[in-house]
Amino acid sequence: MRSTPRSGAARSRLRRGLAAFAVAALGSTMAVVTATSAQAAVTCDVTYTTNDWTTSPGQGGFTANLTVRNTGDALSSWNLGFTFPNSGQRVSQGWSANWTQSGANVTAASMPWNGSLASGATLSLGFNGTWSGSNPKPTSFTVNGVTCGGVNPSPSPSPSPSPSPSPSPSPSPSPSPSPSPSPSPSPSPSPSPSPSPSPSPSPSPSPSPSPSPPGPRVDNPYDGATGYVNPDWSANAASEPGGAAVANTSTAIWLDRIAAITSGSAGNNSKGLREHLDLAVQQDAANGAAPVVIQVVIYNLPNRDCSALASNGELKVAQNGLNRYKTEYIDPIASIMSDSKYRNLRIVAIVEIDSLPNLVTNLNLAACQEAKNSGAYEQGVAYALSKLYAIPNVYNYVDAGHHGWLGWDTNFGPSADLFGSTADLATGGKATVHGFITNTANYSALVEPHFTVNGTVNGQMIRSSRWVDWNFYIDELSFAQAFRQRLIQEGFSSNIGMLIDTSRNGWGGPNRPAGPSTSTDLNTFVNNSKVDRRIHAGNWCNQSGAGLGERPRANPATGIDAYVWVKPPGESDGSSTEIPNNEGKGFDRMCDPTYGGNDRNGNNPSGALANAPLSGHWFSAQFRQLLANAYPPIS
């Protein structure tokens, strides 16, 4: 088999954007009580809100959100209890607590990370549930055995949610297969060390019937919206010569580790999830009628980026990584995002960069094989989709690599199959996926204007050139549109939309070809005609000569929801030399400008810029080059 590059597998990313939760409350209960226990004076306010929907006559589902405010002594741990009035009410999945139910009695015990509750502090937690007959609210609550009583108001109505509008896009079909052989690339920039033996796989979540979503979603969250501007990135951009011209551009917030949820990601972002969401609410209030869309990246799977080193993560499959991912990473995010004050934001969750495609192309690497054998990637993604989909204003977009990774037919179909089977594990199935994103943090050109994949030079097929290497696609737009159609064939909704990260794929400046080459030599023609100026399509780290791409905008092409800047321009992909750190990031030779390459990039130089810091840290020289080489140019 032909070895072909997969530039996205090792793309480094640092900022961990957040996936989001906010619930439309159709009714609420507030209980305020003062009582004294032997250990501490417990005084508490408990607010219980639900969003109900009907799945069939006499039964349905609901999302419950509870806010507990401690107005008494500080607590080192807590246990919330209540009783359902109806025996047909059940907790099916909860977050930010260990939830148990015995008969009609429900308890929620604190987690290790949220047991401390200072005097005056508030706590958000919640669960998804089902009901039959009716869904009345509990009439009393206890905290550590002390009653926080109260009386519920009249039950709220339980309307069925409104469906999203249904467009009728007609993307370009994928190119017709050539009779030439289609190689199956197994690209991987740099093998990771072999991890410890894989533990027994955790049981997969049981598929369940797709419920109606708990609230209305618009078809395209970017349509008519303005993007959240991260003040941390904006300040860095504005500090560079000429950077003020793009400093108010919306970029994504990244979460690359558990600590980033509350303290921000390492490098350039000092704000945690709640701070960013609060700022987004402020921007929304000053924005007039247009809603604000905030992009948040979920990026902390165990054995993360299993075929790379520059952006390895903190969690390992063999060290209880999947359970920690669920309880210490996804659940806390859900707890914060469930705050009702964020319900008017449109929150786009970019789900797990460089994860699932590794299970198609890179099982020759031990860390990827362990992720596959344990089910960690699939179960982790399904868990994230389930938790996020339960929130009415969250839109899940799953990372789908890029054309230089999945464009060969032997990767194209199997990847779509894997995305489908993984989504089927989520509560809600394929309906939990609003769309997909390609080219995240990569450099693949949006459009190659000077030649086509089915063209010929002197009787030789463009596809057979060294650069294209029998790929069926030469740019991201054609790939994203074709892959969307394949995903719909896989069973995803015909309404799904695609995003393309255009933050660093402009390839403008003096080296951008103005037209096709006149050479009759196939490889010379392609090399001199392509706007993607990388030495090899497998090069991914801090690429020399790159430029800012299309500025973010909605509905730019058929089947494309938006061009977006998910990777904040100016944040490094990885360090040029080894830098000791406590961020879980290794040194990948593909970030070393002196590296001569390997068989996965055709033994070509890496094309990386020198003097780069750790992934996610501000890289001034890179930002200045991106600005200078922007296409379309910065006016």
Task: Copy the structure tokens of residue 490.
Answer: 């896989």
Q: Pick the closest to residue 15 from 226, 233, 190, 280 (CA basis).
A: 233
Q: Do β-strands 460-461 and 394-399 pair in parallel, antiparallel, or remain unpaired? A: unpaired
Task: Copy the structure tokens of residue 415.
Answer: 């990847």
Choosing from 52, 284, 305, 399, the catalytic residue is 305
Does the annotation flag 254 for ligand binding? yes
Q: Do the beta carbons of residue 585 and residue 280 sit within 8 Å?
A: no
Q: Is 305 noted as a catalytic residue in this protein?
A: yes
Cis, peptide link before residue 155, omega less than 30° from 0: no
Choosing from 284, 331, 339, 354, the catalytic residue is 354
- Strand ranges inside 112-166, DSSP E: 122-132, 141-143, 146-147
Distance from chain centroid for Cα 114: 24
Choosing from 284, 424, 573, 588, the catalytic residue is 573
Q: Is 573 noted as a catalytic residue in this protein?
A: yes
Q: At what angle do helices 366-374 and 376-389 cross, to 10 degrees?
A: 60
Q: Which residues contact 386 (CB under 8 A, 6 or more apart)?
A: 93, 205, 426, 427, 428, 432
Does the annotation flag 331 for ligand binding? no
Does the annotation flag 442 for ligand binding? yes
160, with CB counted inside 10 A (0-12, 13-18, 19+), is exposed
Q: Is 45 noted as a catalytic residue in this protein?
A: no
State how far the Cα of 18 lies from the Cα of 13, in Å rounded to an integer: 13
Does the annotation flag 567 for ligand binding? yes
Task: Copy the structure tokens of residue 483.
Answer: 């892959």
Q: Would you say how long the chain is, in residues?
A: 635
Q: Label residue 632 left, alpha or beta by phi (over 0 means left) and psi (-120 to 50 means alpha).
A: beta
Does the annotation flag 131 for ligand binding? no
Does the annotation flag 434 for ligand binding? no
- Other CB atoms within 10 Å distance of the CB of residue 295: 31
- Other CB atoms within 10 Å distance of the CB of residue 281: 18
Please give the biggest Cα pair distance in the chain.
89
DSSP state of 245: G
Distance from chain centroid for Cα 176: 31
Give whole-number Cα distances, 211 to 26, 428, 433, in Å: 18, 6, 13
Q: Which residues contact 588 (CB under 8 A, 6 or more apart)?
A: 10, 12, 189, 190, 308, 309, 310, 541, 574
Residue ranges of the annotated binding site are 254, 256, 402, 405, 442, 540, 567, 571
Residue ranges of the annotated binding site for substrate are 254, 256, 402, 405, 442, 540, 567, 571
Residues that are catalytic: 305, 354, 573
